[in-house]
């Protein structure tokens, strides 16, 4: 059974169809790339899978349970406990230090501050961020900020990490480093990854790719 599944998702923004009968599955521990041109609906699909957006029609199942029908109160802990997120621009909280940013998902999960910070700190050497624990986002380079964001996405050991253009704002070499770390971290913890990208070099890190065009997921059979 798939860990995560979208079945015939449809979503409109006003009169514009963003998703049209979009279906896909994600297996436990799998790295899946969602590719497609700008405006094709790939980020919208990711947001529906992650419970950030609710589709007009269709179903989203996670770990055997349907989640698209849950209200915000029920979806919120799911996003906090089971899912991790990395976005194009790290979107770190500027008022917090790097280690507080990483600890944030744990603090929101009611983990004690001392333990959360301790756990957060353990990610810094793993991601080559030693010595940057007390810096704020304005004092970090793009690559450093994205690695902090990756640590924040992984610190609560999510079942699924959603990454939306995680290297989009980085140069090739830095982006490659971030992807290496993302893949290593996910593999080490058995975390599934859904990465949205328009960059083939990023998609090449995934086990499998699907292509979204005009809100539709291209039939897998056609690609095999």
Binding site for another protein (CB under 8 A): 37, 180, 183, 200-201, 203-207, 209, 211, 213, 218, 222-224
Complex with another protein: residue 73 or 224, whichever CB lies closer: 224
Euclidean distance between CA atoms 151 and 105, whole angstroms: 10
Least Cα distance to 175 among 167, 183, 184 occurs for 167
Q: CB of 186: closest distance to another protein in angstroms?
A: 13
Q: CB of 20: closest distance to another protein in angstroms?
A: 17
Euclidean distance between CA atoms 70 and 54, whole angstroms: 9
CA of 140: how far to CAs of 118, 144, 170, in Å?
21, 6, 13
Q: CB of 211: closest distance to another protein in angstroms?
A: 7
Euclidean distance between CA atoms 222 and 165, whole angstroms: 25
Euclidean distance between CA atoms 155 and 118, whole angstroms: 11
Q: CB of 82: closest distance to another protein in angstroms?
A: 27
Complex with another protein: residue 128 or 200, whichever CB lies closer: 200
Complex with another protein: residue 37 or 77, whichever CB lies closer: 37
For residues 54-69, one letter each, b for 16 or more C-beta atoms within 10 angstroms of the residue's C-beta and e for the rest, the string is bbeebebbbeeeebbe
Q: CB of 93: closest distance to another protein in angstroms?
A: 32
Complex with another protein: residue 6 or 35, whichever CB lies closer: 35
CA of 148: how far to CAs of 130, 193, 197, in Å?
11, 17, 20
Alpha helices in the chain (DSSP H): 42-49, 72-81, 98-108, 113-126, 142-154, 172-189, 200-203, 220-223
Element (H, E) at 215: none
Complex with another protein: residue 8 or 184, whichever CB lies closer: 184
Q: CB of 149: closest distance to another protein in angstroms?
A: 21
Complex with another protein: residue 28 or 220, whichever CB lies closer: 220
């Amino acid at each position: 059974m798939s860990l995560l599944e979208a079945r015939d998702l449809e979503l409109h923004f006003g009169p514009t169809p963003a998703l049209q009968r979009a279906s896909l599955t994600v297996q436990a521990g799998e790295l899946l790339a969602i590719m497609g041109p700008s405006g094709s609906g790939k980020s919208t699909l990711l947001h529906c899978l992650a419970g950030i957006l609710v589709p007009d029609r269709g179903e989203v199942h996670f770990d055997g349970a349907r989640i698209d029908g849950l209200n915000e109160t029920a979806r919120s802990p799911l996003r906090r406990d089971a899912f991790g997120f990395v976005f194009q621009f790290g979107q770190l909280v500027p008022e917090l230090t790097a280690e507080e940013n990483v600890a944030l998902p744990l603090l929101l999960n009611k983990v004690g501050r001392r333990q959360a910070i301790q756990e957060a700190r353990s990610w810094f050497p793993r991601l080559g961020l030693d010595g940057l624990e007390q810096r704020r986002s304005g004092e970090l380079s793009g690559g450093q900020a994205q690695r902090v964001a990756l640590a924040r996405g992984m610190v609560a050991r999510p079942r699924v990490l959603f990454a939306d253009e995680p290297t989009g704002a980085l140069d090739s070499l830095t982006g490659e480093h971030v992807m290496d770390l993302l893949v290593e971290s996910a593999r080490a913890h058995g975390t599934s990854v859904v990465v949205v990208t328009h960059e083939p070099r990023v998609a090449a890190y995934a086990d499998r790719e699907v292509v979204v065009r005009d809100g539709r997921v291209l039939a897998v059979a056609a690609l095999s």
